[in-house]
Amino acid sequence: MSHVFYRHPLHAPPLVAGGEGPYLIDADGKRYLDASGGAAVSCLGHGHPMVTRAIKDQLDHIAFAHTAFFTSEPAEALADLLIEQAPGDLSHVYFLSGGSEAVEACLKLARQYFLEIGQPRRRRVIARRQSYHGNTLGALAAGGNIWRREPFAPLLMEAHHIAPCYAYRERRPDETDAAYGLRAADELEAEIQELGPETVAAFICEPVVGATSGAVPPAPGYLARIREICDRHGVLLILDEVMCGMGRTGTLYACEQDDVAPDLMSIAKGLGAGYQPIGAMLVARKVFDAVVAGSGFFQHGHTYMGHPTACAAGLAVQRVIRDDHLLAIVRAQGEHLNAALTERFGEHPNIGDIRGRGLFRGLELVADRATKEPLDPAREVHKKIKSEAMARGLICYPMGGTIDGQRGNHVLLAPPFIINETHVEELVDKLGEAIDAALS
């Protein structure tokens, strides 16, 4: 009997024994193509020699020193690398241990920023339904994933939610994508006016929505209008790129493709590619300067923030992405994957939408393609797809509640940046078999 408290205590997962490139290997020697990078984490695959070497080298120097007393060479170098390529006026990096911590830091710094500049009434956060920002209480409150929020609702802080930007479900038949994007963004304007602009601190969203809805990209012009609305009302824009950032969509930062820059940004997952737990908050110059000119202290902190070994891993990962020109590969293999998915599922009676950017792709399942009627939630098809895929040696990320937290199913794909055409063919073949078996 295992004494590990698994997420699903009655169903212990296989025992992992090794990894090789895009594959994980269990204790019985079975190989699994990691087509979702776990949860869009393992962007370099498994066992990358340069990253493991960097971790070992750092351990030979110093594994850990608390940031109340020291900075470290890996933290300084990684911050420099991230800011060199960062959009807009992002100027400083605050290192943490994961995505939820990064979002928490963004929310707290947004509040503190308005205290520093003498606007204490600004306390409210607006987010979107069908979003996910993490599982700590602040991040969970900001998120719009009903299933995850509901049990803990009495513990959550005040947060307000507008509609997602979800063209497949929400665009009117007579509406262009661009017109829909502006209409969806204007819900933020209405919500700010309803709450009172002087009380709103921040709006947070994922540039490309990940786990909750399955790689949903923004409509054209959506994020630009959101940025415009935030600027008009003095509201901070927080972009959560924990899942969609760090090259996953084909540019290092997902928002680059929409020519928009945030005031605060959360990153994680692909930052360290799973080799060490690491996340970060990126901060715009005006926010940083407000703290420096005011209290001079961000009232926040965690024991392992800025962990030297984690930063060494993140630095090695980002150097591999840069030096091996992996962003170009993400774009090329992303198009190849999209074409293969379209060929296999484009006319599938139960696949309503194939979407995403780069190596961040989603398939939405339906009972009827013409009406977009979702499958019966009681069937729990997403769970069956995961099981059937694992049986065939494929790891993917199916989820339920795609539409409103209860109805809808999708499969999220986020394979490593190192995949080739052969891996794409294996992925699509095994996924097709798994979906068909789950639906039969």
Is 9 among the domain residues?
Answer: no
Q: Is 135 exposed, middle or buried (0-12, 13-18, 19+ CB in 10 A)?
A: middle
pLDDT tens for 20-73 read 999 999 999 999 999 999 999 999 999 999 999 999 999 999 999 999 999 999
Average pLDDT score over residue span 226-244: 98
Q: Mean pLDDT for the chain?
A: 97
Does the pLDDT value for residue 154 go beyond 80?
A: yes
Average pLDDT score over residue span 239-260: 98
Is 1 among the domain residues?
Answer: no
Number of alpha helices (DSSP H) and beta strands (DSSP E) in the chain: 14, 15
Side-chain half-sphere exposure of 266, counting CA atoms within 13 A? 30
Same domain assignment for residues 129 and 228: yes
Report the C-alpha gap between 96 and 75 in whole angstroms: 11
| Domain finish residue from 299, 323, 347 | 323
Does the pLDDT value for residue 12 go beyond 90?
A: no
Same domain assignment for residues 352 and 222: no
In terms of DSSP H, where are the helices of 12-166? Answer: 37-40, 49-61, 73-84, 99-116, 137-142, 146-149
Specify the number of domains making up the chain. Answer: 2
How far from 372 is each of 147, 163, 165, 167, 438, CA to CA, in Å?
22, 19, 17, 13, 19
Average pLDDT score over residue span 176-180: 97
pLDDT band at 7 (very low <50, low <70, confident <90, very high): confident
In this prediction the pTM is 0.97
How far from 253 is each of 49, 144, 207, 230, 318, CA to CA, in Å?
25, 22, 10, 20, 12
One-letter amino acid at 37 equals: G
Q: What is the 8-class DSSP label of residue 15? A: P
Same domain assignment for residues 43 and 58: no
Q: What is the 8-class DSSP label of residue 341? A: H
Does the pLDDT value for residue 224 go beyond 80?
A: yes
Average pLDDT score over residue span 296-310: 97
Same domain assignment for residues 431 and 316: no
Q: Find the CATH number of the domain harbouring 426.
A: 3.90.1150.10
Using CA atoms of 355, 220, 92, 45 in order, give the dihedral in degrees to the nearest 10: 20
> 415: left (phi > 0), else alpha (psi -120 to 50), else beta?
beta
* Residue 2 confidence (pLDDT): 86
Same domain assignment for residues 178 and 229: yes
* Residue 11 confidence (pLDDT): 84
Average pLDDT score over residue span 116-130: 98
Same domain assignment for residues 184 and 85: yes
Is 298 among the domain residues?
Answer: yes
Using CA atoms of 81, 84, 88, 89 in order, give the dihedral in degrees to the nearest 10: 80
Report the C-alpha gap between 165 and 38 in whole angstroms: 25
Q: What is the 8-class DSSP label of residue 368? A: B
Same domain assignment for residues 314 and 382: no
Is 385 among the domain residues?
Answer: yes
Query: Which domain, by its residues, includes 386?
Result: 16-48+325-439
Long-range contacts of 374-381 (CB under 8 A, 24+ apart): 374/402, 374/403, 374/407, 374/408, 374/409, 375/350, 375/408, 375/409, 377/401, 377/406, 377/407, 381/409, 381/438, 381/439
* Residue 169 confidence (pLDDT): 97
Q: Is 432 exposed, middle or buried (0-12, 13-18, 19+ CB in 10 A)?
A: middle
CB 146 within 8 A of CB 404: yes
CB 138 within 8 A of CB 152: no
CB 264 within 8 A of CB 229: no
Is 281 among the domain residues?
Answer: yes
Of the two residues 222 and 1, the one the predictor is more confident about is 222
Same domain assignment for residues 278 and 134: yes
Report the C-alpha gap between 428 and 439 in whole angstroms: 16
Same domain assignment for residues 184 and 318: yes
Average pLDDT score over residue span 344-367: 98
Q: Find the CATH number of the domain harbouring 214.
A: 3.40.640.10
pLDDT tens for 368-390 read 999 999 999 999 999 999 999 99
The two tokens of residue 17 are 């024994």
Q: Return the sign of the alpha-carbon dihedral for residues 170, 172, 176, 179.
A: negative
Is 10 among the domain residues?
Answer: no
Among residues of the chain, what percentage have pLDDT more than 70?
100
Specify the DSSP element, H or E, that contains 289: helix 285-293
pLDDT tens for 407-420 read 999 999 999 999 99
| Domain finish residue from 302, 323, 344 | 323
Does the pLDDT value for residue 82 go beyond 80?
A: yes
The two tokens of residue 94 are 């605050």
Is 8 among the domain residues?
Answer: no
How far from 202 is each of 6, 35, 274, 414, CA to CA, in Å?
35, 34, 29, 29
Report the C-alpha gap between 215 and 338 in whole angstroms: 12
| Domain finish residue from 307, 323, 339 | 323
Does the pLDDT value for residue 9 go beyond 90?
A: no
Name the residue with tokens 């209409």: 183
* Residue 41 confidence (pLDDT): 98
Report the C-alpha gap between 151 and 411 in whole angstroms: 24
Is 3 among the domain residues?
Answer: no
Same domain assignment for residues 146 and 159: yes
Same domain assignment for residues 42 and 165: no
Among residues of the chain, what percentage have pLDDT more than 90?
97
Same domain assignment for residues 317 and 341: no
* Residue 1 confidence (pLDDT): 74
Nearest Cα to Cα of residue 105 among 312, 298, 308, 309: 298
